[in-house]
Amino acid sequence: MGYGGTVACTDVDCVYRKKYFLGHGMTPVYPLSSLIMELHPTARPSVMEAVKDRHVCHYEHNHSLFHCTNCDHVFKKVTVKIEFYDGGSFETHRRCSRCKKDRTKEIDVGELENRICPKCKESLLKMDSFILWD
């Protein structure tokens, strides 16, 4: 089951409100080739190269939320982890979508509470709702 929430600015004059659906819910198991096509176009070549001529043992994907410690950007990204029968593994990059640095950490939607609003840059964000989805 996936989870998520809605964050909103505490300033009544600011209209910032954003929903995040994280995890992977009760999605059916997709063939890896279909999953690759759902990734950002810049992520596809590295995944296709990693699986080329290798036997995949297991793979999983998630909709994850990241915080860049370099530029303070918060963004959602689909991540893929692949394990191979030869013992190797592969994981998609978690590079920041704004500054392109590898200084990101995965965060939970609840960690957005009490952050500065990205729209008005004055008030704080609050959790408006929490959801479970599938």
pLDDT tens figures, 13-72: 999 999 999 987 666 566 888 888 888 888 899 999 999 999 999 998 888 999 999 999
Q: Domain residue spans in the chain? A: 2-133
Residue 90 has pLDDT above 80, yes or no: yes
Question: Which residue shows structure tokens 């909103």?
Answer: 8
Residues above pLDDT 90, as percent of the chain: 62
